[in-house]
Amino acid sequence: MDSLVIKTGLQICKSPKEVFQAIIEPEQMKNYFISESSGIMQEGKTVVWKFPEFDVEFPIRIGKIEKDSYISFHWDDMEGIESQVEITLSEPEAGLTFIQITEGEKPNNPNGIKWLKSNTEGWANFLAFMKAWLEYGINLRIKAFNKSQLTQII
């Protein structure tokens, strides 16, 4: 395999409209993913995200957005190498949303494998934490991460 790509997904018991809004609106995303954002996600704009577990700002360059069904953006990893993220929302039945996330691609080398491990874990957390927030109103990020412990595993 010459390149690495992350692909993950999860079903949430909410409509695509509710899930879409939870992704593009920073005030909602703060309950399950980021600690700060410079603004709402809009096609062609750049926003800056901060995460509670990292002392780094991440510029997010928004690509294409299709209301209630698709969001794409580009961001840089910790080494400054850009990758594209695509989030696709589908409705397998009324009131349910299947979220599929694809990120990549990176070279199949030690740095690429490190990225694959870290970001796959991050997207799994994104999905699980979003599900907990949207379905049950539970913010799983509260005291979930200790910066010094993360440094040891990343």
Backbone angles phi, psi at 44, to 5 degrees: 85, -5
State the average pLDDT for the chain: 91
| Model confidence band, residue 104 (pLDDT cutoffs 50, 70, 90) | very high
**Cα–Cα distance measured from residue 114 to residue 52, given in angstroms and rounded to the nearest whole number:** 21
Q: pTM score, two decimals?
A: 0.91
pLDDT greater than 80 at residue 154: no
Structural domains in the chain, sorted by start: 3-153 (3.30.530.20)
Query: What is the pLDDT, as a whole number, of residue 145?
Result: 66
> Is 7:102 a contact under the CB 8 Å cutoff?
yes
Give dist(CA 4, CA 148) in Å, integer.
28
Reduced to 3 states (helix: H, G, I; strand: E, B; else coil), residue 132 is: helix
Q: Mind listing the pLDDT tens digit for each residue in 126-149?
A: 999 999 999 999 998 877 766 555
